[in-house]
Amino acid sequence: MRTRPLTLAAASGAALLATALLPANASGTVNPRSAQEGSVSAADLLAKVTSCSQISNGKYKTDDETSATIPVCGKNGAVFWKADMDIDCDGQVTSKCNGDTDPWFQDDTAFHQSDGKPLRADSLPYVVVPSTSSIWKYTSSGIKGGGVVAVIYNNKVEYAVVGDTGPTKIIGEASYATAKALGIDPDPETGGTDSGVTYILFKNSQVSPIESHSAAVSLGDSLAKKFLQNN
């Protein structure tokens, strides 16, 4: 649902270290948890995505003013890309995600909770996929709303769901909660990081209910193990 026109500044190293690694869960409460989710290491996952078999018809920009350099790559059981992370705060209005904190705020997401409400960006780790275009149609690759994504940054793995769609020519965006869990500044206006994020989307997967982060971690860990075996 994203139409953000401007790039987000990268967070400084100090801001990255200062961000708490205590993202909220699906119910909106905050629980401590390890920065490493599941039993599969970031290094093992990254070792499987060192080369790209491009499946997109072209490449994506990370922001409006950058060149198109990011392909969508195919693997057995997954697709992946390596990009930046802009912060998506769209969905339910909260103290952290609203029209005042986010100049590009929209009160809806492409995919909804089991109760019909939009997703909650400040408590649910989710990833934004580019809307369908001539470059790539995500549904043709077995990617759907609620699909599991392993998001890797700075040697950490965070499991998220496909929760929103974005511009047709831009890639590299995830929810406030995803960024916070990975130690990235989650501020929707000034946060994010310019590079270093790997997104591995597992084909034909779906978390139910979509808002259950614990279900995403459980399914993601299982799919990550299978991904290592099959690639």
pLDDT one-digit tens code per residue, 92-143: 999 999 999 999 999 999 999 999 999 999 999 999 999 999 999 999 999 9
pTM: 0.86
**Average pLDDT of the residues in 50-61:** 98
Report the relative pairing of strands 78-88 and 173-175 from DSSP bridges: parallel
Mean pLDDT of the chain: 88
* CA distance to 26, 172, 214, 225, per residue, from 108 (Å): 17, 19, 23, 33
Q: How confident is the model at residue 34 (pLDDT cuts 50, 70, 90)?
A: very low
* CA distance to 21, 34, 38, 112, 141, per residue, from 156 (Å): 11, 9, 10, 27, 26
**Average pLDDT of the residues in 182-199:** 97
Residue 58 pLDDT exceeds 90 = yes
* CA distance to 34, 106, 146, 202, per residue, from 224 (Å): 18, 32, 16, 8
Residue 36 is predicted with a pLDDT of 73
Which domains are seen in the chain, by residue range? 13-230 (2.40.40.10)
Residue 12 pLDDT exceeds 80 = no
Residue 35 is predicted with a pLDDT of 56
* Cα separation of the two ends of the chain: 33
Six token digits for residue 118: 């939009």
pLDDT one-digit tens code per residue, 192-206: 999 999 999 999 999
Helix (DSSP H) and strand (DSSP E) numbers for the chain: 4, 7
Q: Which of 75, 31, 34 is nearest to 52 (CA)?
A: 75
Residue 171 pLDDT exceeds 70 = yes
Residue 29 pLDDT exceeds 80 = no
DSSP letter string, 115-136: TSPBPBTTTS-EEEEEPS-SS-
